């Protein structure tokens, strides 16, 4: 069931965001999530160029750019999305674990940020070294592991999170006693 109300109401009990603050944090939240998606698209382009680029030099430069510029901006955008999302959850009636769409986004955001640190970051030195070898014309035959998965998984997950944010499906995680009474269970 879609949740139709979009106005901020009773907050989660911590604090209530005023109208202006809510809008400011919401804009920051949307911009950071959008930046994160944009960085993912850039990663996909660099990975494809690294794999299918027109020459070893182009391919090597793509891998070097990937290793140098991607991880920290991506983690920054992901962390900002997480922090602003948590502020929005706590400061509005949406709560953090009150509605399915918010709770699922919270889990997805934490999982993706963790994957950037534990799965993407450790391989980047190797990717940079391979890129340098390609530019210098002496690539290691072992090459590097498959780099298509990180941007693919991240883009699918962030698209899902955006759909959840806009559609706000499935309603509350636990129904209130008033909702249970009006549904006829009485408990």
- Give residues in contact with ligand HEM (CB under 6 A): 6, 8, 22, 26, 29-30, 33, 81-82, 85-86, 88-89, 92, 94, 96, 102, 105-106, 108-109, 158, 161-162, 165-166
Q: How far is CA 18 from CA 25, 29, 91, 166, 185, in A?
A: 10, 16, 9, 21, 36
Cβ at position 108, least distance to ligand HEM in Å: 5
Nearer to ligand HEM, 40 or 64 (CB): 40
Q: Is the distance from CB of 64 to CB of 140 less than 8 angstroms?
A: no
Cβ at position 114, least distance to ligand HEM in Å: 13
The residue number with the shortest CB distance to ligand HEM is 85
Cβ at position 73, least distance to ligand HEM in Å: 15
Q: Is the distance from CB of 65 to CB of 45 less than 8 angstroms?
A: no
Please tell me the distance from the alpha carbon of residue 93 to that of residue 124, in angstroms, as a whole number. 41
CA 88 to chain centre: 16
Nearer to ligand HEM, 107 or 179 (CB): 107
Cβ at position 154, least distance to ligand HEM in Å: 10
Please tell me the distance from the alpha carbon of residue 135 to that of residue 115, in angstroms, as a whole number. 29
């Amino acid at each position: 069931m879609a949740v139709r109300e979009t106005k901020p109401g009773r907050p989660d009990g911590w604090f209530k965001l005023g109208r202006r603050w809510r809008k400011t944090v919401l804009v920051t939240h949307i911009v950071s999530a959008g930046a994160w998606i944009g960085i993912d698209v850039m990663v996909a382009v660099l990975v494809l160029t690294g794999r299918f680029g027109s020459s070893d030099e182009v391919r090597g430069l793509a891998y070097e750019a990937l290793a140098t510029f991607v991880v920290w901006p991506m983690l920054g955008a992901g962390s900002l999305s997480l922090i602003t999302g948590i502020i929005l959850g706590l400061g509005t009636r949406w709560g953090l674990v009150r509605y399915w769409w918010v709770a699922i986004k919270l889990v997805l955001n934490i999982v993706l940020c963790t994957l950037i640190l534990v799965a993407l970051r450790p391989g980047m030195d190797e990717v940079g070294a391979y890129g340098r070898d390609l530019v210098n014309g002496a690539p290691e035959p072992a090459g590097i592991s498959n780099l298509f998965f990180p941007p693919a998984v991240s883009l699918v997950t962030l698209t899902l999170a955006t759909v959840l944010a806009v559609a706000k499906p499935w309603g509350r995680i636990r129904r209130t006693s008033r909702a249970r009474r009006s549904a006829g269970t009485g408990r």
